[in-house]
């Protein structure tokens, strides 16, 4: 796909529903009593994998239109063993959260994924679930996974990595762990969508500054859930507005869960002009309208403690930092090596190719920014949706444009991305 440089970006848009919340709404809706009406569902290849998985496991899902679904819950223990393996495709959230539910069902469940997902670490969920007494096997630490449902017992678990997916798997299993509460202690706070949703569904959740406990449940009921706009889908538009001179973009109805919005804090430190309007709460999640206007940026330091709050936006931070005066550094982000691609190596390789001064470190990257447009050239997505968005943002902000290879990877999280970006372009 050819991405031409643009003069500026201008306008007001909304982005599709949050991917993390959409996955959780379908997963939790399936184990609720009665129907859960989901509006603002973020339809993408990833979330469709979750719909297909829960159907295969016996939950009826009715699709009214592109972003409105009804999930007919089968109750906490009502899922059934499917005839074929559950295909999680590229969806890490599905593969890591679903076993937390399957440990409480009757039957044997096999979970498979695509090539990228099959290369990602899965022992991180299997290990705590096994400690709870679950029978779960990985294939040399990876997918395919096999879960045999049965009884589980509560645990106190200190997360070895700051991961919302691992935390969520343990909390979901905690719903089935009779006798006492299950506690997860986090090294650094991560997104808490699971906690918020389970609380809404009637689970007893107790929260400390760095820990969360869940009591075993007898029934859950969500009723309805409105999914806020995906901050991670707004992020490429906001970064593009920050770096393309003369830009002024507002994204409306964006989820502003503090576990997700680290990029806004970092952009502000870089001197970006960021404003948030109409702060409100939607289905237990904070939401607002975010405006970014272009300005001269300076380099910034991202520390390990803030990494989880912008983990999926670090590739975009690298683009912003390449356009900012001076040095930028990301520390403590080794997790990027085990995302949909090795995002330390893929970001460094691709941004270098188009003229950025960036180098990899074991747990992040260092960038020497120049407040000018990058040259442009060829960018490969590595089959990674976030990398494809990086290529598009870097391309519109470049001098010569970008030939984006593997542009279709955006289907994984944001199928309408290029059209929306195009709507903001001022020739
Ligand atoms: C997610 C958590 C994060 C994030 C991923 C979605 C979630 O992963 O990178 O895109 O929905 O819980 P980790 O838990 O591996 O950090």
Pairing of β 377-380 and β 402-405? parallel
To the nearest 10 degrees (0 to 180), the angle between helices 385-396 and 343-353 is 20
Report the C-alpha gap between 268 and 234 in whole angstroms.
16
Write out residues with Cβ below 6 Å of ligand 1: 20, 93, 163-165, 168, 191, 311-312, 335
For atom 15 of ligand 1, the residue with the nearest CA is 163
Question: Average pLDDT in the 308-318 region?
Answer: 98
For 57-88, write each residue's pLDDT tens digit: 999 999 999 999 999 999 999 999 999 999 99
Burial class (CB in 10 A: 0-12, 13-18, 19+), 278: exposed
Q: How many helices (H) and strands (E) does the chain have?
A: 12, 24
Spatial strand order of the sheet with 60-65 comes to: 60-65, 68-74, 33-39, 224-226
Residue 248 falls in the annotated catalytic set: no
Using a pLDDT cut of 70, give the percent of the chain over it.
100
Per-residue pLDDT at 171 exceeds 80:
yes
Q: Residue 20 and residue 193: Cα distance in Å, rounded?
A: 7
**Which pLDDT score is estimated for 133?**
98
> What's the pLDDT band for 178 if we cut at 50, 70, 90?
very high
pLDDT tens digits for 181-198? 999 999 999 999 999 999
Q: What CA–CA distances, in Å, run from 63 to 1, 21, 169, 335, 407?
A: 31, 17, 26, 35, 27
Calculate how far, in angstroms, residue 131's C-alpha sits from the geometric centre of ligand 1: 22
- Mutation to probe ligand 1, out of 128, 161, 164, 340 (largest number of atoms < 8 A from CB): 164
* pTM beyond cutoff 0.75: yes
202-222 pLDDT, tens digit per residue, is: 999 999 999 999 999 999 999
Does pLDDT of 426 surpass 90? no
Residue in 46, 192, 289, 312 annotated catalytic: 312
pLDDT of residue 398 exceeding 90, the answer is yes
Residues 105-119: pLDDT tens digits? 999 999 999 999 999
| Nearest-10 Cα torsion for 264, 265, 271, 275 | 50
Looking at the CA of residue 97, tell me the nearest atom of ligand 1. Answer: 12
Please give the mean pLDDT across all residues of the chain.
98
Distance 390 CA to ligand 1 centre (A): 18
d(CA 375, CA 394): 9
pLDDT at 416 over 90: yes
Please state the atom number of ligand 1 nearest to the C-alpha of residue 165. Answer: 14
Q: Specify the DSSP class assigned to residue 422.
A: H
- pLDDT value, residue 427: 65
How would you classify the pairing of strands 182-185 and 205-207? unpaired
* Ligand 1 atom closest to residue 191's alpha carbon, by position in its atom list: 12
């Amino acid at each position: 796909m050819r991405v031409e440089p643009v003069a500026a970006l201008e306008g007001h848009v909304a982005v599709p529903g949050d991917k993390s919340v959409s996955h959780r709404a379908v997963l939790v809706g399936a184990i609720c009593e009665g129907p859960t009406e989901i509006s603002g569902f973020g339809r993408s290849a990833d979330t469709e994998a979750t719909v297909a998985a829960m159907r295969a496991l016996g939950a009826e899902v009715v699709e009214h239109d592109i972003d409105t679904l009804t999930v007919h819950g089968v109750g906490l223990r009502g899922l059934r063993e499917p005839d074929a393996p559950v295909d999680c495709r590229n969806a890490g959230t599905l593969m890591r959260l679903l076993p937390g539910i399957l440990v409480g069902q009757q039957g044997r469940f096999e979970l498979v994924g695509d090539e990228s997902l099959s290369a990602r670490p899965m022992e991180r969920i299997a290990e705590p679930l096994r400690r709870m007494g679950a029978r779960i096997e990985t294939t040399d630490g990876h997918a395919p996974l096999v879960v045999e449902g049965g009884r589980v017992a509560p645990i106190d678990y200190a997360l070895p990595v700051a991961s919302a997916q691992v935390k969520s798997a343990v909390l979901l299993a905690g719903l089935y762990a009779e006798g006492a509460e299950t506690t997860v202690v986090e090294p650094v706070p991560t997104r808490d969508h699971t906690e918020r949703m389970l609380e809404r569904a009637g689970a007893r959740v107790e929260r400390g500054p760095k820990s969360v406990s869940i009591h075993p449940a007898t029934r859950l009921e969500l009723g309805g859930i409105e999914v806020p706009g995906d901050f991670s889908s707004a992020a490429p538009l906001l970064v593009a507005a920050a770096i393309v001179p003369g830009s002024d973009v507002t994204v409306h109805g964006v989820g502003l869960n503090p576990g997700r919005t680290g990029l806004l804090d970092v952009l502000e430190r870089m001197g970006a002009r960021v404003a948030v309007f109409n702060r409100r709460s939607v289905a237990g999640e904070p939401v607002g309208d975010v405006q970014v206007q272009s300005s001269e940026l300076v380099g910034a330091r991202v520390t390990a403690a803030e990494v989880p709050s912008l983990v999926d936006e670090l590739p975009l931070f690298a683009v912003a930092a390449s356009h900012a005066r001076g040095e930028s550094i990301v520390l403590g982000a080794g997790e990027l090596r085990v995302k949909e691609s090795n995002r330390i190596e893929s970001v460094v390789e691709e941004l270098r190719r188009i003229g950025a001064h960036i180098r990899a470190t074991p747990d992040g990257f260092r960038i020497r920014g120049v407040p000018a447009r990058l040259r442009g050239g060829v960018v490969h997505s590595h089959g990674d949706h976030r990398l494809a968005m990086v290529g598009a943002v870097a391309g519109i902000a470049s001098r010569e444009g970008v030939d984006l290879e593997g542009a279709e990877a955006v289907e994984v999280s944001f199928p309408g991305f290029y059209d929306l970006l195009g709507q903001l372009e001022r020739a």
